[in-house]
Structure 1
Amino acid sequence: MITFRDRGARGRLKGSTLDAFYSFSFGDYRDPKNMGFRALRVLNEDFVIPGAGFSEHGHADMEIVTIVLAGAIAHRDDLGNEALIRAGDVQRMSAGTGIRHSEMNPSLEERAHALQLWIIPRSAGGDPSYEQKHFAEEAGRNQWVLVASLDGEGASLTLRQDARLEIARLDEGALLSRALSPDRGYWVQVMGGIIGLNGTEMREGDGAAITAEAILTIEAETRAEVLLIDLP
């Protein structure tokens, strides 16, 4: 079964410094029918104007993954980490027992564009931690590249949950297929371009929840970038 989440049906917060789209309930946006998908609790798409962002705030008991699609995000936390997350970078922050951080667009000219995911960990608590890696565009050209997993498989980021995050950057006309496990759930998010997912067109911002399907087939109708989240 495939349940599509149209980009236009998402929650939205449009302010003077931020234009954010929420696939699931978040903040003041409440939708009882969209409270998350399996261990995936939050999937936000953020557009941040130059010089703006999220001032210091706290989290606990959540795996937070940020994928920068354009521009950059400056990260600072109370563990002493300071980093610039650029397009092609993926950041993982395990909030554990508690962490405080800020995320700002350091540019005075360029808007930042990023996805942020919150994944519920296997168990609460644990020491907070931070990790960031760059995944070169050509490494994911017309194939799936693992960017996060439970055990850090294949030099991916580590997660405190049995989940796998994979990114594919597709040329126009490229075709990708992937066998699916019947006891897992899968979320597909189109990060850029236009694709066909098992024959149904999806565009940037569209998502889809997949269960009880044997195979996933993606055909790129334009150059495209796709995120696949494999969940217990």
Structure 2
Amino acid sequence: MKTTLHRADSRGFANHGWLRSYHSFSFANYYNPERIQFGALRVLNDDRVAPGMGFGTHPHRDMEIISIPLEGDLEHKDDMGNTTVIRQGDIQVMSAGTGVTHSEYNKNRDKEVAFLQIWILPHTQGVEPRYGQVTLDPAQSQGRWNTILGPHGAFDGLWIYQDAWFHLGEFQAGSSSSYTLKNPENGVYVFVTEGSAKAGDQLLGKRDAMEVSGTDSLSFHFDTPGKVLLMEVPL
């Protein structure tokens, strides 16, 4: 098994006043030749947007874009006719395909919104743009790995054009778990959103992450409560 540790404080950081963003991989003005991507996982931005502010209308193409709110309310508008609000417990996906424009704003005037913005490289380019959104049942992630996203044609829930699987788990202190990869040739990016987790022999704190490859399973132990996002992607 090969692992690469990404401590939270080693990420790139940009402070635009209205936006504070931590970059797990090279993005915009942050460039790290050792952190371009992890297989099909190209972007993992940990964003905080000031009240009433946001990203103006901008384009994307040939990318699977996933948004996972952690706090507050994020308003989304796009040229496919969608106007929606996503909140903690929701997950949103766009297949940009041949091209899409959209905007994202903090709908609240009195508090920040925090969300993870994730880009996955698709296995098929030039698809028709599409939008999907679901509200997750928090109970499904208690003490287990809840699959929240999967590949087109292989998963009944929210899907993308890539052989990738996303899972959320929330575990209490003293609990243990394991994750078996859908495809042992894939890799797993472990990202701790809250608390801490011991992945294999490595203790990870809040917003720490670890690349894992060359194994078909990974064990976890939680000395303290922890919430973890697992992203299994082709390498």
Fold agreement, TM-score > 0.5: yes
Residue ranges of structure 2 left out of the alignment (5+ in a row): none
What's the counterpart of residue 84 of structure 1?
85
Asked if structure 1 preserves the Cα contact closer than 8 Å seen for 2:57 and 2:102, the reply is yes
Q: Distance in 2 between matches of 1:29 and 1:136?
A: 35
TM-score, structure 2 as length reference: 0.95
Contact 1:191 1:204 in 2 (8 A): yes
| Counterpart residue number, 2:112 | 111
Q: Indicate if the aligned counterparts of 2:142 and 2:171 stay in contact, CA closer than 8 A.
A: yes
Residue by residue over 1:145-202, the C-alpha shift from the partner in whole angstroms, topping out at 9 and shown as x without a partner, is 1111113655421110111111111222221112345311111111111111112111
Q: Indicate conservation of the 8 Å contact 2:48/2:114, yes or no.
A: yes
Question: What does residue 151 of structure 1 align with?
Answer: 152
Alpha-carbon distance in 1 for matches of 2:98, 2:80 = 12
Residue 66 of structure 1 corresponds to which residue in structure 2?
67
Count of matched residue pairs: 232
Residues 95 and 129 of structure 1 are in contact (CA less than 8 Å); yes or no, is this contact kept in structure 2?
Answer: yes
Is 2:45–2:116's contact at 8 Å kept on the other side of the alignment?
yes
Q: Which letter does structure 2 place at the counterpart of 1:198?
A: G
Among 217, 220, 223, the residue aligned to 1:221: 223
Q: 2:202 aligns with which of 200, 224, 227?
A: 200
Aligned to 1:44, the other structure's residue is in SS state: strand
Is the CA contact (8 Å cut-off) linking 1:146 and 1:154 kept in structure 2? no
CA RMSD of aligned residues (A): 1.3
Q: In the TM superposition, what is the alpha-carbon distance from 1:221 to its structure 2 partner?
A: 2.8
**Matched-pair identity in %:** 35
Equivalent residues of 1:145, 1:166 under 8 A apart: yes
TM-score, reference length from structure 1: 0.96
Q: Distance in 1 between matches of 2:162 and 2:25?
A: 19
Q: Distance in 2 between matches of 1:7 and 1:152?
A: 34
Aligned to 1:189: 191
The answer as to 2:41 corresponding to 1:26 is no
> What is the distance in 1 between the residues matched to 2:126 and 2:56?
24
Q: Secondary structure at the match of 2:123?
A: coil
Read off the aligned partner of 2:166 and give its amino acid letter.
L
Structure 1 residues not aligned, in runs of 5+: none
Greater Cα shift, 97-106 or 216-225: 216-225
Q: Matches of 2:223 and 2:48 in 1, distance apart?
A: 25
Q: Distance in 2 between matches of 1:72 and 1:153?
A: 30
Q: Distance in 2 between matches of 1:45 and 1:70?
A: 12
Which residue is 1:55 aligned to? Answer: 56
Letter in 2 for 1:183: E
| C-alpha separation in 1, matches of 2:152 and 2:124 | 15
Which deviates more, 151-160 or 2-11?
151-160
Greater CA drift, 58-67 or 197-206: 197-206
Asked whether the 8 Å contact 1:152–1:159 carries over to 2, the reply is no
Q: How far off is 1:208 after superposition?
A: 0.7
Letter in 1 for 2:196: I
Q: Distance in 2 between matches of 1:162 and 1:129?
A: 17
